[in-house]
Amino acid sequence: MVNLILFGPPGSGKGTQAAKLVEKYNLLHISTGDLFRYEMGNDTPLGKEAKSYIEKGELVPDEVTVGMLRNKVEANPDVQGYIFDGFPRTIAQSEALDKLMAEKDTAISALLMLDVPDEEIIKRILERGKTSGRADDLDETIIQNRIDVYKSETSPVFDYYGKQDKAEKVDGVGSIEEIFDRLCASVDKL
Ligand code: C5P
Ligand code: MG
């Protein structure tokens, strides 16, 4: 199996690139953000709980996110691999993911980080907000909070997988195709 973590700050292009990677490598795309938005759209208890955090740009508690992720993985056992997008976002989530992969007799193959400067990220998220229908893409205070949370809680995940020799930075600035080619070059090395 090839199990990838597509990593990077909000607005770095994870969802866009994951959609292209799953096609080329025949993997299952799991975006925890999309899963939360689906639950919110259906106004489920999980959606209601997630909404109270997402609308402030905060992280949903680890046990909630890990439980949802685990359900999604276990519902799709017969795949050639997974692309995790927007997960893990904390060290606790990383440990839970490694444990889940080990239970399935597999492991994370690589974490690929899309490297994009802050100014570019804010510009991209505000642009996306015009059409994404996401309240958390429209308000600069919420966007800044998401970036702050990424720096304080999520960026240590890069070093966590760095210690396993699995973390790699990819230049996330350029055209969608240019960035895709860089990611493919990294995946093809695995
Ligand atoms: O990944 P994405 O940017 O779509 O996530 C949107 C929001 O969902 C995040 O800002 C956060 O509030 C929540 N989220 C989370 N934990 C995750 C993924 C998403 O709390 N692992
Ligand atoms: Mg996304």
Our answer to whether residue 89 is catalytic in this structure is yes
Please name which ligand lies nearest the alpha carbon of 14: 2
Please report the pLDDT score of residue 47 as a whole number: 97
Per-residue pLDDT of the chain (190 residues; tens, 9 = 90+): 999 999 999 999 999 999 999 999 999 999 999 999 999 999 999 999 999 999 999 999 999 999 999 999 999 999 999 999 999 999 999 999 999 999 999 999 999 999 999 999 999 999 999 999 999 999 999 999 999 999 999 999 999 999 999 999 999 999 999 999 999 999 999 9
Please report the pLDDT score of residue 173 as a whole number: 97
Question: For residues 109 and 165, is the Cβ–Cβ distance under 8 A?
Answer: no
* Structure-block tokens of residue 120: 């570019």
Question: Which residues surround ligand 1 with Cβ inside 6 Å?
Answer: 10, 32-33, 36, 53-54, 57-60, 65, 86-87, 89, 136, 146
| Residue among 117, 110, 35 at smallest CA distance from 72 | 35
Our answer to whether residue 146 is catalytic in this structure is yes
Atom of ligand 1 nearest to the CA of 134: 6
Rounded CA separation 14/121 (Å): 12
Our answer to whether residue 163 is catalytic in this structure is no
Please name which ligand lies nearest the alpha carbon of 65: 1
Q: Between β-strands 110-115 and 82-85, what pairing exists: parallel, antiparallel or unpaired?
A: unpaired
Please report the pLDDT score of residue 165 as a whole number: 98
Contacting residues for 159 by C-beta, under 8 A, at least 6 apart:
167
Strand partners, 5: 84, 111
Domains, the chain, ordered by start: 2-188 (3.40.50.300)
Give the distance from CA 135 to its chain's centroid: 18
| Residue among 48, 39, 46 at smallest CA distance from 63 | 46
Does the pTM surpass 0.95? The reply is yes
Question: For residues 29 and 91, is the Cβ–Cβ distance under 8 A?
Answer: no
Rounded CA separation 143/149 (Å): 10
Distance 177 CA to ligand 1 centre (A): 25
Please report the pLDDT score of residue 110 as a whole number: 98
**Catalytic member of 20, 51, 128, 166:** 128
| Residue among 121, 94, 136, 90 at smallest CA distance from 14 | 121
Contacting residues for 56 by C-beta, under 8 A, at least 6 apart:
142, 145
**Catalytic member of 51, 134, 169, 182:** 134
Atom of ligand 1 nearest to the CA of 10: 3
Burial of 12 (0-12, 13-18, 19+ CB in 10 A): buried
